[in-house]
Structures are given as C-alpha cells and as structure tokens.
Amino acid sequence: MSGITAAVLQTVNTPHIESGAIFVSQAILLFGLLALVFVALHTRRSALWWVGAIVHIGAGALLPYTADMVSFFMIWELITVGAAIVLVCEPDAHGLLRRYLPWQLLAAALLLSGFALHFAESGSVALPAAGVTAGRILIGIAVAIKAALMPLHLWMVGTYARVRPGTAVVLSAVATKIGVFGVYRLLPGSISLEILGGIMATVAVLYALRQNRLRPFLAFHIISQVGYMIAGVGSAAAAAQIAGLYHLGNHIVYKGLLFMVVALMVPMTGTPNIYSTRGMGRRSFVLTVAAIAGALSISGVPPFNGYISKSLLQYSLVSPVAIHLLTIAGIGTALSFTKFLWHGFLRPGPLPQAHDVGEGLIARTGTRTITVALSLLCLLMGLYPRSFFAELPDSAGITQQSFESGLVWPVVGAALFFILYGPILRVLLVTLPGSTTVMNLLRSAGTRGLQLMQRQHTGDIRRYLGWAVGGTMLLWTWVLLAP
C-alpha cells in the first residue's frame, strides 16, 4: 500500500512540461495580468473580487502544467471557485451563480467519473500523452461544458452578458480556453472532433449574426472561435494541433481586446445595442484603432494574428468537411465584425448625446494604453508568429502571395454585409431557435426522461426480476461470444 501511495505522490509532483502547455499558460498569464490592470484603472472592486480574479487566472495558468488526474481535477475546480467568488461580488450574484454553478458542478462530476473509469482500467493517475482510454465520453462532455460548446453553452452566454464589463474581460480569457486545452490533453485526436469543431464554429457565428447587443454578440463569437480551436487541437494531425493551440493564444489576445473596447465604448455611447453605438470613430481615435485591430484579427485578415492560425488550420486539417465549415465560419465572422465596425465606429451621421464615462484622465489614458498594447500584440503575433510559438512550421508567416489570398474570404464577408445582411438576418431570426427555446427543449427532454423512469420503476418485483434475468443473459451472451 505504501508503494502505491509513493508512486501516486511521485506522479502528482511531476509537472507536465511541453511547448504547447507553456504557450497556453503564458498566454493566459500575460493577458490575465493586463486584464487585472485594466480593471484596476477602469473601476473599483472589492478585495474579495480581487481574490477570486487572481485565483481564477492563476489556476488557469497553472493547469496546463498538470501531468496527473489529481492535480488536473483540483486546479480545474479552482478555476470554477475563482469565478464563483468573482460572481458573488456582482450586483446580480444570485442569478449569475444560478446560471453558472450547476453547469460547472455537472462538468466536475463528469470529469471525476471519467477519471475514475480511466484509473480503474489503467491503474495509474498519470495522464497519458495520447489521451485517456476509458471514461472518454464522460470526460468529453465535461470539457465540452467548460469550452461552452453548443448546446452546453448557456452558462457562458448567460453569465458573460450580465456581469459588469471589467468582470467580463477577466472571465473571457480562462474557462473556455481551459476546456479547449482539456480536449488537447485528455482526448485522442480524430476526424470527428475536427468536424465537431467546424460545426460549432459555423452554428455559433450564425447565432452571433442575429445578436443586437454587444456582449452576447462577443459571447457567441467565443463559441465560434472555440470551434476553430477544437478542430485543431482535436485533430490527429500534429500540425493541426499546433495551429489550434496558436489560435487559442491568439483568441485570448484579440477577444480580450474586444471585450475591453466594449467595456469602454458602452458608457461613452450610453447603450449596449450594436445598432445604436455609433460615432465612436470620431469620438475616440484610440478605441477605433483597437476595435479595428481586434475585428481584423478575429476575422483572419493578414497580417494580424488570426490569419496565421486560421490559414494553418485550413492547410493542416484532415477532414475536407471541417475545412469547408471553417471557411463558412470565417466568412460569417468577417460579415459580423463588419457590422460591428460599421455601426459602432464608421457609420456616418450625427453623433449621439455624449455620456460621462465616470473615469479620470489617468484611468482613461491607462485603459486605452492597454488596448493599444494588445492591438500591437495582435499585429506582432501575425508578423512574427514563431517568435511567440517556436513549434509553428517555418512556413507560418506573411508573404505577398499569402497576404493577397488571405484577403479573399474576409472581403467576401464584408461585401455580404453591405449587399445581403438584411435578408440574411431575417432568415436567421426565423430559422434559428433562441437560447430560451434551446433551454425549454432541454427541460422538456429532462422532464420526459424523469417521467419515463417513474413509469418503469413502479415497485413491481416481477419487473425488477425480469430486468435482472434479462441483463444477466445478455451479459453472459456477450462474454461467451466476445473474441
């Protein structure tokens, strides 16, 4: 017994060191520090909020180094604990926790059960390099919840859209990215995960197109970009996994930048409605530059960082279906962020009444300086990608030919906005069920499942004996006929 204990302790104390884990950890930590500075300059927060935010970011940066199930699960839960502490400090704490915690507790139970099945089969708490062999379905659902894959996304959309802007900036960087890293670390690569990622990227961008409020708009784009990452890190091709990890780091930077832009522009315009937040292009040059940098990055426009990872995914994925789906998602993303830039920053017309941001000169200068730094980082990660992630292939970079070819799909998406956005929006509003509809369908399915179980469990001893005898016969038939 002592030998087993010693082996377990030795495994738990052994860190997982590889280039992908280092890159993901550094990306979370770097952006997390910038996000905390942004919040400190932007608004006041309680000491408890700061404890939760630091735990959330710190655990997210630490998890990639875990090499065993014990450490992975403990730090996975610390991420949830940190977020819960942050949500306790929000004005609508009860409503937010009701949306957030049940999903996270379900993910924890599934992950722990999957780990137990894997340990029962392997006899080791170490996480294998090729992914787990047992408990794969339970672990897959757990990481899908954490990554906010549809239809398991309701916790994220319901939370990020309702917290205060600074809190949304902090939360945007960690949980879903840890879910993606969980796919990379725990699940074996397969074509099915590539196709799943492509489907998520496409469906989520369609939901983003129909949004009229800024933070739900950004939240659905998180899900769409997570689809890109899942297609990459879930692939069996090593080059696609590298591209997926780089896209994860890129997304932390440009999506955090976009959440910061929204956090600053909503108080200035007085509305979170995309169609009403006009005039920012003439009101704030710095925010306009930051918004353009974030929009071009997420749309995959060269020479910004999103182009590098998206183009690498296109060349390295195995499934043609996944490649075509990501192309459609890329066009939809460009269309979406053309809408964002046009209505918020570029549309001509009279300026709305100015609103008081409630910040001093130092705070405004400091927060906008951070947005400029992140905008510059988006550009540098596109121009010099191998300086940030040495595992990228030598071909990763911008040439004249790649620059020209990389503009094709973003230009198509932008053109669709000005030509066909009205009809596209009307079709999406009619055909896509809203989040409330999805929740009602899930509740209905759960209710019917419980009713079915109640009808089966009537207390009739004959029925239970029939199940026992029938199950035993099936089990022995499988044992005798199995090769």
- Per-residue pLDDT in tens (0 to 9) along the chain, 483 residues: 444 444 444 445 567 778 889 999 999 999 999 999 999 987 888 999 999 999 999 999 999 999 899 999 999 999 999 999 999 999 988 889 988 998 999 999 999 999 999 888 888 888 887 778 888 899 999 999 999 998 888 898 888 889 988 899 999 889 899 999 999 999 988 899 999 999 999 999 999 999 989 999 999 999 999 999 999 999 999 999 999 999 999 999 999 999 999 988 888 777 888 888 877 777 888 899 999 999 999 999 999 999 999 999 989 999 999 999 999 999 999 999 999 999 988 887 666 565 554 444 445 677 888 999 999 999 999 999 999 999 998 877 787 788 888 899 999 999 999 998 888 888 888 887 765 555 555 556 656 665 666 565 666 666 666 766 776 777 666 656 655
Looking at the structure, do residues 218 and 291 belong to the same domain, yes or no?
A: yes
Tell me what pLDDT residue 370 has: 93
CA distance between the termini of the chain: 35
Looking at the structure, do residues 157 and 197 belong to the same domain, yes or no?
A: no
- The tally of domains found in the chain comes to 3
Looking at the structure, do residues 204 and 95 belong to the same domain, yes or no?
A: no
Tell me what pLDDT residue 444 has: 64
Tell me what pLDDT residue 394 has: 83
Looking at the structure, do residues 245 and 142 belong to the same domain, yes or no?
A: no
Length of the chain: 483
- The angle formed by the CA atoms of residues 83, 85 and 90, to the nearest 5 degrees, is 95
Looking at the structure, do residues 243 and 387 belong to the same domain, yes or no?
A: yes
Task: Give the HSE-up count for residue 114: Cα atoms under 13 Å, Cβ half-sphere.
Answer: 25
Structure tokens that stand for 329 in this block: 């998602």
- Whether residue 439 is contained in a domain is answered as no
- Whether residue 229 is contained in a domain is answered as yes
Looking at the structure, do residues 257 and 326 belong to the same domain, yes or no?
A: yes
Under 8 Å between Cβ of 410 and 311: no
Last residue of one domain, picked from the residues 187, 206, 227:
187
Tell me what pLDDT residue 83 has: 94
What is the rounded radius of gyration, in angstroms, for the C-alpha atoms of the chain? 24
**E strands within 274-412?**
none
Last residue of one domain, picked from the residues 187, 218, 253:
187
- Whether residue 431 is contained in a domain is answered as no
CA 165 to chain centre: 18
Tell me what pLDDT residue 439 has: 52
Structure tokens that stand for 189 in this block: 């690569």
Looking at the structure, do residues 25 and 125 belong to the same domain, yes or no?
A: yes
| Distance of alpha carbon 196 from alpha carbon 204, whole angstroms | 12
Place of tokens 């309680």: 46
Tell me what pLDDT residue 170 has: 92
Looking at the structure, do residues 90 and 218 belong to the same domain, yes or no?
A: no
Model confidence over 411-460: pLDDT tens digits?
999 999 999 888 888 888 888 776 555 555 555 665 666 566 656 566 66
Looking at the structure, do residues 394 and 464 belong to the same domain, yes or no?
A: no
In the 8-state DSSP scheme, what is residue 384?
S
Looking at the structure, do residues 18 and 39 belong to the same domain, yes or no?
A: yes
- Whether residue 461 is contained in a domain is answered as yes
Does residue 237 sit in helix, strand or coil? coil
Looking at the structure, do residues 170 and 48 belong to the same domain, yes or no?
A: yes
116 to 119, 120, 134, 182: CA distances (angstroms):
5, 6, 9, 16
β-sheet bridge partners, residue 273: 213
Q: DSSP of 211-222, one letter per residue?
A: --BHHHHHHHHH
Last residue of one domain, picked from the residues 187, 205, 227:
187
Per the confidence metrics, is the pTM higher than 0.75?
Answer: yes
Domain that holds residue 21: 1-187
Contacts of 18 (CB under 8 A, 6+ apart): none
- Whether residue 86 is contained in a domain is answered as yes
Under 8 Å between Cβ of 439 and 154: yes
| Distance of alpha carbon 187 from alpha carbon 429, whole angstroms | 35
Model confidence over 338-378: pLDDT tens digits?
999 999 888 876 665 655 544 444 456 778 889 999 999 99
Place of tokens 């956005």: 421
Tell me what pLDDT residue 359 has: 42
For 44: left if phi > 0, alpha if psi spans -120 to 50, otherwise beta; the answer is: beta
β-sheet bridge partners, residue 126: 68
Structure tokens that stand for 437 in this block: 């509809």
Looking at the structure, do residues 209 and 105 belong to the same domain, yes or no?
A: no
